[in-house]
Structure 1
Amino acid sequence: MFWRFSPVWWLLVEFHSAEHLWGQDIPTTQASLNPGPKDGDLVIGPAGKNLVLFANIASGHRFLGRGGFGAVLGSKGIKAVVVRGGSVRPLPADPQSFEKVCRLATAYIHRNRFTGHLYRNAGTASHVDLCNASGILPIHNFQDGQDARWQHVSGWTMRERFGAKPSTCRPCTIQCGHKGNFSDRQVRQLPEYETVGLLGTNLGIFDPELIAAWNEQCGRLGLDTISCGGVLGYVMEASEIGLMASPLRFGSAEGVSQAIESIACRKGLGDKMAQGMRRLLETYKGRSFAMHVKGLELPAYDPRGAWGQGLAYAVAKRGGCHLSATLFPLEASLGFLKPRTPKAKAHFVRFFESLYAGINALPTCLFTTYAHLLKAPIARLTPKPILAWTMQTFPPSPCV
């Protein structure tokens, strides 16, 4: 089944059989729906159809990635939701004030180091440089936080190697998404940091061509790359120590593509992997290296090198999530909080959980947080050593 909404959706909602689409991957489904330039769609792939617990939903070439939303649609027999005839624009109560604030916000975004430089030019994979230097880049299923080969998968390296061009959400001021030309003459999305970390360095893989191909495969099948990479990392470690039998090994590409396909189709070992890491533990054990919180596989920031981020994982409602509260930049990148201490961390987790709830309700991109917080007078005018000492010693004061 798929839904189709007319421009006047309160007057016309149509339900159509999706039997002819049900087995198709996401790009084929999107092409079959024949969207016009003003149309939008939400689509699931085989992973959603087969109720993989980390199946996602595609919207264009972007994804509602985490938490298994694709499996929710699949469980209800919904292949796609299509809206025809253009978007609905909200009308602000005070257009002039709204435009003034937008111009100010845009100026902040342009001037900020992260949103106006790192992300815009090298994408979120620019985090590879920062996270490796701070020891929080996942290596071999989080066994380590640094590796000498990190430059091979840096966002800056990929920019130069593949000739990155913007390919991002619409509309977008930051433009963190990019696409590039690969050696097989295919144009692909350059992998985001989380994908580089979980499908790349976490598996001991430092070849961006392989990571981009697996990223594309996950996108075609409708799989969250974070949870998929986390599960593969667990299986690699469990296989190496003899808890399970599989060809997957750290540093080797052998069997990875086949494993991704088997997860989406729920075949063989892939059927168990499709249940996620917490359920794999029930059969194969290995709790000490199962990198999840509340059943949600960890994103690509090792909490041993950023204790505040570890606390954020622990208290996030949906488990191992870096978007409920993001502290690793304050700890590992900006140097405002000492990374390996619990001091002050509870205050800032609470502050960012509240802040992010507000940002998500607007809605706008969470990356704008960098631009707005770092442009605030207290952050911009206070000497960094004094600000860092104040945040560490009197955490409620900057959180007011």
Structure 2
Amino acid sequence: MPLKYSLLRIDLRSRSLRVEYIDYDSIIRRFLGGRGLGAYLALKELPKGIDPLGPENRLYMLTGPLTGAVPIASSRMTFAAKSPLTDSYTHSKMAGNFAYWLRKSGYDGVVLEGKSDEPIYISIINGNVEFHDARHLWGKDALETELMIRREMKCLGENECGVITIGPAGENLVRFASIMGSFTQRAAGRGGLGAVMGSKLIKGMFVKGNRDLLAGAFDRKRLLELGVKISGRIAKGSGKDPLHKYGTSVLVNIINSVGALPTRNFETGVMPTAEKFSGEVLAEKFLVKRHGCALCPIACTKIGKASWDGKSSSNIKYEYESLFALGSNLGVDEPSAILTMIDMCNRYGLDTITTGNTLATATELSQKGKLPIKLSWGDADTYIKLIEDIAYRRDIGNELAEGAYHLSVKYNDPESFVGTRGQGFPAYDPRALKGFVIAYATANRGGDHNEAWPAMIELGPYPFGPYPNKVFDPLAEVEEKIVFTVWEQNYYAAYDSLVLCNFVDQVGDDSLKPEEIVDLLNAYAGWDLTYDELITIGERIFNTERLFHVREGKWVRDELPPKVLKKALPDGPAKGHTAERFFEWGIKRYYELRGWVDGKPTRDVLKKLGLEEFNYLL
């Protein structure tokens, strides 16, 4: 029997269900699943100009062909919708265990349509869908909600079932609210998809089942052999050791040493006291346990404990991006305070990166005398209060809940917002790591480090891509970084659609190799896929995402914010550097490589990629 992708569509207004079976050899081979399928469905189905927080928006929850089928960090999925933060298409991945249990429950993806007339949560158990009253959960934080749902569904362990929830931020339609999972240790953070869930009055989802995820595999034996071999190599290899020992927080000292650690809203790329919250110090003084997502051979999750102002917490999942956003970017270096803010964001259901960006923009505006409150860099106590105010939209928090870009527009201060397409930058200053100049400017979902991470060829040898094992000076303004960015954007668009964890691709010689991905897909689906076709699939997905912006007439122009474009770094290894020169000629070369004109794909590009059905958008 041919493979089919089972997509459950839930009409929340009528509480009706419809299962759509998507053909593998046509649609799935062209878009894979996850991020790719989300882009395709959103472009076809979402009406132009809709309110992201209105009932016409749809929330796509999508796994990929390999999700849960191989033991290579494959319990990941993509959430996609029109973003309340950027007002255009966005996608966000979540790891943990929910993706695995969603597929086990009987479906490969779920689409939430319309709006419920009261707060509910949804359970899916072996294909059976039920709606549960969630009025007693409304107002609870994300962790409390998950624990309560698990008790009500009589399934307490993450090795038995999966749960996602939103916190008060999602309920109150904060434009950068997250969807949380795995006891708030994982998030679909970027783009405000927790607010989309909240706008539909969905407090959570519970999934459980015993579906055999290998039942439909073309060559089950081959798939298992490949999966076990690759996973064993990664687990036994030394390439995973830094991630296993310190998690992504190992990057704090590394990025600071090259002058690229954004500090005080990208005022500088160096924080002299950053070592206080580095991965090494946190592991020594604050780490409680190491943890891995389902089917993961690395276990990079780090859970810490902290006490601040008499309050203690011991379930704090911390990452490099969160440490930057709520640490150096706010001028805060006290690790207990930073961990406390991370914990608050996780429980309230706030994207840590955008929360930090927003507080940093607010502080800069306050320092300039434009914001009607007084904020000072490093004032952790005030930031902690503001995080709660944002989650509940109290007082000035109601204004901050709109995000950093909206603040900069309201107060007519473009320099105070450091991001693209309405979303703030993550933890790498592009003036010091020049590969990010083009990667940031062209990222489809806005300020982003996952659509491309060119630091892989600036900080150490990367074994794949157009320049295997070659390292470039971080400050070099060379064409190779543009070529690599295009390749990475294509490769990771496909990779994010499978859906797999990026870290199994980033452990040196032990990494999951592109040709192994091709072998795994062919064993599962019975295809004759090649490496070149995999890259073309990624190119198709990336162009489909860009077409959403074209259709909306929003964020088509590729730009960089004034601060990093023209303002030189004042100190550190990149002292005196801006992004202007590399951007001006680099974006032209990027368009040549893409075949684009002024940020738009052409009809020739659409024809090459088999996207002629969208010619009407050009």
Task: Tell whether the structures are fold-level matches, with TM greater than 0.5.
Answer: yes
Which of the residues 174, 188, 200 maps onto 2:298?
174
Query: Does the residue aligned with 1:299 lie in a helix, a strand or coil?
Result: coil
1:28 paired residue number: 144
Cα offset, 1:189, TM superposition: 2.3
Residue by residue over 1:281-331, the C-alpha shift from the partner in whole angstroms, topping out at 9 and shown as x without a partner, is 222122123111100111111111122212111111111011111112322
Which of the residues 306, 309, 319 maps onto 1:192?
319
Which of the residues 114, 117, 122 maps onto 1:4?
122
- Which runs of 5 or more residues in structure 2 are unaligned? 1-118, 462-469, 514-618
Cα offset, 1:99, TM superposition: 2.7
Q: How does 1:1-400 map to 2 (within 5 A)?
A: 1-9=119-127, 12-33=128-149, 34=151, 35=153, 36=155, 37=157, 38-60=160-182, 61=184, 62-85=186-209, 89-91=213-215, 92-110=217-235, 116-183=240-307, 186-334=313-461, 336-340=471-475, 341-371=477-507
Residue by residue over 1:246-286, the C-alpha shift from the partner in whole angstroms, topping out at 9 and shown as x without a partner, is 23211221311110011111111111111111111222122
Q: Distance in 2 between matches of 1:240 and 1:67?
A: 27
Kept in 2: contact 1:248–1:254 (CA 8 A): no
Residue by residue over 1:36-66, the C-alpha shift from the partner in whole angstroms, topping out at 9 and shown as x without a partner, is 0322111111111111111001112311111
Q: In the comparison of the two structures, how many residue pairs are matched? A: 375
Residue by residue over 1:153-189, the C-alpha shift from the partner in whole angstroms, topping out at 9 and shown as x without a partner, is 1101110112442133223211111123435664232
Residue by residue over 1:124-145, the C-alpha shift from the partner in whole angstroms, topping out at 9 and shown as x without a partner, is 0000011011111111111111
Distance 1:88 1:318, change over 3 A: farther
Over the matched positions of the two proteins, sequence identity in percent amounts to 33
If asked which structure has higher relative contact order (CA below 8 Å, sep 6+), I would say: 2
Distance 1:106 1:313, change over 3 A: same
Q: Distance in 2 between matches of 1:64 and 1:376?
A: 23
Kept in 2: contact 1:177–1:190 (CA 8 A): yes
Letter in 2 for 1:178: K
Distance 1:44 1:368, change over 3 A: same
Cα offset, 1:108, TM superposition: 4.4
Distance 1:88 1:136, change over 3 A: farther
Query: Does the residue aligned with 2:164 lie in a helix, a strand or coil?
Result: strand
Kept in 2: contact 1:308–1:328 (CA 8 A): yes
TM-score normalised by length of structure 2: 0.58
The worse-fitting range, judged by mean Cα deviation, of 54-63 and 336-345 is 336-345
Cα offset, 1:349, TM superposition: 1.1
Q: Distance in 1 between matches of 2:211 and 2:458?
A: 40
Query: Does the residue aligned with 1:166 lie in a helix, a strand or coil?
Result: strand
1:397 paired residue number: none
Letter in 2 for 1:109: I
Q: Distance in 2 between matches of 1:17 and 1:45?
A: 16
- Which runs of 5 or more residues in structure 1 are unaligned? 378-400
Q: Distance in 2 between matches of 1:88 and 1:110?
A: 25
The worse-fitting range, judged by mean Cα deviation, of 37-46 and 48-57 is 37-46
TM-score normalised by length of structure 1: 0.87
Q: Distance in 2 between matches of 1:67 and 1:275?
A: 12
Q: Which has the higher strand share?
A: 2
Kept in 1: contact 2:452–2:489 (CA 8 A): yes
Query: Does the residue aligned with 2:163 lie in a helix, a strand or coil?
Result: strand
Residue by residue over 1:47-88, the C-alpha shift from the partner in whole angstroms, topping out at 9 and shown as x without a partner, is 111111110011123111111110111111111111244576
Q: Distance in 2 between matches of 1:327 and 1:345?
A: 7
